[in-house]
Amino acid sequence: MSMDEVAMVTDDEGRSWPVGQAQRAAFVLADDDRECLRAVARGIAARHADRPSGLHLDDDDLMVDCKLRMLREGPEALVRALTQFRYRSNPDGVLLLRNVPIDDVLPPTPEQGNYDGDWQRLEVATMTQLAVMNILGDVISYADEKAGRIIQDVAPVLGAEKRQENTGSCFLELHTEDGFHPQRPRFISLLALRPDHERVALTLASGIRRALAGLDGGTREVLTQPIYRIRLASSFVGDREDVYAGPVPVLSGSPSDPELCVDFHAMTTEDPEGRRALASLRRAMLTNLVGHVLEAGDLLIVDNDKAVHGRTGFAARHDGRDRWLRRSFAVPDLRRSTADRLPRSHVHRRIFKSRIDQSRADRRPAYSND
Ligand SMILES: [Fe+2]
């Protein structure tokens, strides 16, 4: 699809919604800034070259180095834009960075949803993403999901097409990322290594600042009530268990500039008014969609307190060249989760224990599953 065409998204009720272009507000790195950032990433990678792959990227010293090098040597205009976004966000709640450096030669897109090769083969993409995230906040990951990898791969997995999670390729309903988690991310970054073959997978977002104007006072009031529960993602609990967090409100904080936590696929309430308010919010958010087909070198940052995100469907070929994004999370204050992490680790311990594990260990569950 051409960037100039107006895309339409059809929801599961058959209604179509126009999608604005996230790239209108994109921050496009100048070529010399891209090369500057590539040099920063390579410098960090060289100093940490002896780190093995996987969880061994989980270390405070690496994060300190990323932040320090970015501040001292990174492109000033980019650091400024990231810091302003961190302080102020924006009406759509997303910041699209373009012309971001990635590695010249890429491994095949991982078939099982996780890249298990040497991180050094992706050193530019890996360290660029960590450098960006360390300006936005404190990097965090979750032991329940993808084994706590600091940077996770988002790629279509054969047989998982219909899943409402990162391994799927059908329409992904608008949601707050990990809204059920006590330390949910403030910022999500998605760095594209490869787009989908047909360039039709629109990454979608919608900001509460725009949607709020479409909600009457009564609806806003209902959405501030703690009457909603969110089902934990299957990527956390597997397929066999329905586990809910909450009750929580959908809107919190400033009445005129609230924070948002919602999931239009996995959120429920027993309250009929609450259901009506949730449906009104969904319509208001679908009315204000922005979207972008992520190309190689695009890095989309979602403000997870101000925007929901989703994705339109696409067809995977499982040929090693499928869509491949790399994802990482940041929280505003890592210290809030000190009791739930090992010293110097950025991986939050598991919040979920299966019913089988619970009965064996006779422990109180982190969340009820009634
Ligand atoms: Fe998501």
Over residues 298-336, the pLDDT tens digits come to 999 999 999 999 998 889 999 999 999 999 999 999 999
Range from 72-76, 84-88, 167-171, 236-240 carrying the lowest mean pLDDT:
167-171
The residue-averaged pLDDT of 189-208 equals 96
Average pLDDT of the residues in 165-193: 89
The pLDDT of 15-29, averaged and rounded, is 84
Q: Is residue 2 part of a domain?
A: no
Is the Cβ–Cβ distance between 297 and 23 less than 8 Å?
no
pLDDT of amino acid 3: 42
Q: Which residue has the higher pLDDT, 5 or 214?
A: 214
Residue 177: predicted pLDDT: 97
> How far away, in angstroms, is 362 Cα from ligand 1 center?
32
- Whichever domain contains 139, its CATH number is 3.60.130.10
CA–CA distance, 361 with 333 (Å, rounded to integer): 31
Residues annotated within the binding site for Fe cation are: 175, 177, 309
Q: What does the DSSP 8-state code read for residue 56? A: G
- Measured between alpha carbons, how far is 128 from 38 in angstroms, rounded to an integer? 7
The band of 256, judged by pLDDT with boundaries at 50, 70 and 90, is very high
Lowest-pLDDT choice from 161-175, 207-221, 290-304, 355-369? 355-369
Contact predicate 20/290, CB 8 Å: yes
Cα atoms in the 13 Å half-sphere on the side-chain side of 103: 17
Q: Is residue 367, in this structure, part of any structural domain at all? A: no
Domain assignment present for 145: yes
pLDDT category of residue 13 using cuts at 50, 70 and 90: confident
| Residue numbers belonging to the annotated binding site | 175, 177, 219, 309, 323, 327
What are the Cα distances from residue 245, in Å, to 100, 217, 240, 337?
37, 26, 16, 18
- The share of the chain scoring above pLDDT 70, in percent, equals 90
**Rounded-to-5 percentages of helix, strand, coil across the chain:** 30, 20, 45
pLDDT of residue 361: 43
pLDDT value for 354: 66
Asked if residues 167 and 157 have their Cβ atoms less than 8 Å apart, the reply is yes
What is the value of pTM for the model shown?
A: 0.92
CA distance 290 to 92: 7
Å from CA of 291 to ligand 1 middle: 14
Q: How far is the CA of 164 from the centre of ligand 1 (A)?
A: 9
Known binding residues for 2-oxoglutarate? 219, 323, 327
Of 92-101, 197-206, 231-240, 250-259, the least confident:
231-240
- Residue 366 in domain: no
Residue 169: predicted pLDDT: 65
Reference 129, options 39, 202, 47, 189; nearest CA is 189
Q: 12 C-alpha vs ligand 1 centroid, how far in Å?
A: 18
Residue-range definition of the domain harbouring residue 115: 20-361
The values of phi and psi at residue 122, to 5°, are -125, 35
Banded model confidence at residue 168, pLDDT cuts 50, 70, 90: low
* pLDDT of 206 strictly over 80: yes
8 part of a folded domain: no
- Strands 202-207 and 290-293 turn out to be antiparallel
Output the CA 306–ligand 1 centroid distance in Å. 14
- If one counts the domains in the chain, the total is 1
Of 205, 207, 236, nearest in space to 310 by CA: 205
Distance 73 CA to ligand 1 centre (A): 31
- The two counts, helices (H) then strands (E), for the chain are 9, 19
User: In angstroms, what is the span from residue 294 Cα to ligand 1's centroid?
Assistant: 15
Please indicate, yes or no, if residue 354 is contained in any of the structural domains: yes
Q: Are 199 and 1 in contact (CB under 8 A)?
A: yes
Q: Which residues contact 30 (CB under 8 A, 6 or more apart)?
A: 75, 77, 99
3-class DSSP assignment, residue 275: helix
Which pLDDT score, from 0 to 100, does residue 165 have? 67
Tell me, yes or no, whether 132 lies in a domain.
Answer: yes
What is residue 333's predicted lDDT score, i.e. its pLDDT? 97
Q: How close is the Cα of 39 to the center of ligand 1, in Å?
A: 30
**What mean pLDDT is predicted for residues 180-200?**
96
Question: Average pLDDT, whole number, for the chain?
Answer: 90
Res. 63: pLDDT tops 90: yes
> Where does the pLDDT of residue 80 fall: very low under 50, low under 70, confident under 90, or very high at 90 and above?
very high
Strand order in the sheet with 228-231: 244-248, 228-231, 267-268
* Rounded-to-integer distance, Cα 63 and Cα 329, Å: 13
Of 11-20, 93-102, 198-207, minimum mean pLDDT range:
11-20
Q: What was the pLDDT predicted at 185?
A: 98
Is the pLDDT at 2 greater than 50, yes or no? no
301, containing H or E segment: strand 299-303
